[in-house]
Amino acid sequence: MIREITPRDASYRLAQGAVLVDVREEHERELGMAQGALGVARADLEAAPHQHLPGPDADIMLICQSGGRSLLAAQQLQRLGYRRVVSVRGGTLMWQAEGLPLTRPTGTVDEDFHERYSRHLRLPEIGARGQRRLEAASVVVVGAGGLGSPIAFYLAAAGVGQLRLVDDDVVDRSNLQRQILHTDADIGVAKVESAHTRLSALNPRVSVEPVAERLESVNVERLIADADVVVDGGDNFPVRYLLNDACVHLGKPLVYGAVHRFEGQVSVFDAGRQRGRMPCYRCLFPEPPPPEAAPNCSEAGVLGVLPGVVGMLQATEALKLLLHVGEPLTGRLLHFDALSMRFRETRLAPDPDCPLCAPGAAFPGYIDYAAFCAG
């Protein structure tokens, strides 16, 4: 049974030589911690208490934000043989409410960072370190339409530091049913400029670079060379093949998405960094289909919410790649059927004879295919 003490009792015992340990995460302690406390995250303390505490017979007090984590940590220390460990009831919140002194690390605390990304910071898989990694990351999103809209919205909201949007189209009224980056007032405006306005308003910490260019063989490497992740939001065959080839050639992970009527697909192609182990898009479809087999989006139609679902999944995969968490969709193709509300997965294997990504294959150069679908 762990005994709980009040913050005032803890302050008195601290003055008498007891050890007070703040077991919150680093980003939480940056906002203020009990004066005189040591800062050691709970997981680190429980994993190696001997590295942070004087010994099993020391007078140990643990404090967190409101008292829950410190109580759990105290129970674990007790199981590890620490006999004089207590938890501070009410944690740092009560310590502050009682007017006891707080201390902050030297330097300016980025309040906006902590408030804006607080839910990410609470995830051990992300935390402050992962969020800073996102802020330092660069992502290229090709297409600012149906797929590009949710992709860009979620990446900007998540705090990806550098977003380059590539699209040479302007907003049309028919776009508004699914391209949620744009409004009626943007009709006739370049999509990348409309997107720049929305995304900057959503998260001014993110640097959004609008590029009003058509992706072609002459500019593809220039546009993606400095990207950590490339996301295909163009949903047309010329972009799909060109991005695949460039990402294999430059060793970039490519997050693929496609929509048609009521169905969508998502995958991650990373053959450039994992030759012979993971496939590229050409392993599945070596050449684009003839135009008659790929009806234009305006002819076939698309359920307005479908690009939202697929684009959100693409944004999820991009964040996982940047954060190095979870299992990416490499070697897997995820299918979504909106009418039946079902997902199914197809395993993808690399083609050992793929002329593009097979080990030892020489890069054949780029091909500019005629457009099949305007997205």
Query: pLDDT digit string (tens) for 189-225?
Result: 999 999 999 999 999 999 999 999 999 999 999 999 9
Q: What is the CATH number of domain 4-107?
A: 3.40.250.10
- The class that CATH gives domain 121-347 is alpha beta
pTM over 0.85? The answer is no
User: Mind listing the pLDDT tens digit of every residue in the chain (375 residues)?
Assistant: 899 999 999 999 999 999 999 999 888 888 889 999 999 999 999 999 999 999 899 999 999 999 999 999 999 999 999 999 999 999 999 999 999 999 987 666 788 998 999 999 888 899 888 999 999 999 999 999 999 999 999 999 999 999 999 999 999 999 999 999 999 999 999 999 999 999 999 999 999 999 999 999 999 999 999 999 999 999 889 999 999 999 999 999 999 999 999 999 999 999 999 999 999 999 999 988 776 666 655 567 899 999 999 999 999 999 999 999 999 999 999 999 999 999 999 999 999 999 999 999 999 999 988 644 444
The domains of the chain are located at: 4-107, 121-347
Contact indicator for 146, 301 with CB cutoff of 8 Å = no
What ranges make up the beta strands (E) of the chain? Answer: 4-5, 19-22, 33-34, 38-39, 60-63, 85-88, 102-103, 138-142, 162-166, 207-211, 229-232, 254-260, 263-269, 332-337, 342-347
CA-closest candidate to residue 315, choices 165, 153, 194? 153
pLDDT tens digits, one per residue of 72-90: 999 999 999 999 999 999 9
- pLDDT for 371 equals 46
Identical topology for domains 4-107 and 121-347: no
User: Catalytic residue numbers?
Assistant: 297
Kindly report the number of other CB atoms within 10 A of residue 265's CB atom: 16
3-class secondary structure, 204: coil
Q: How far apart are CA 236 and CA 129, in angstroms?
A: 36
Kindly report the number of other CB atoms within 10 A of residue 169's CB atom: 18
- pLDDT for 108 equals 67
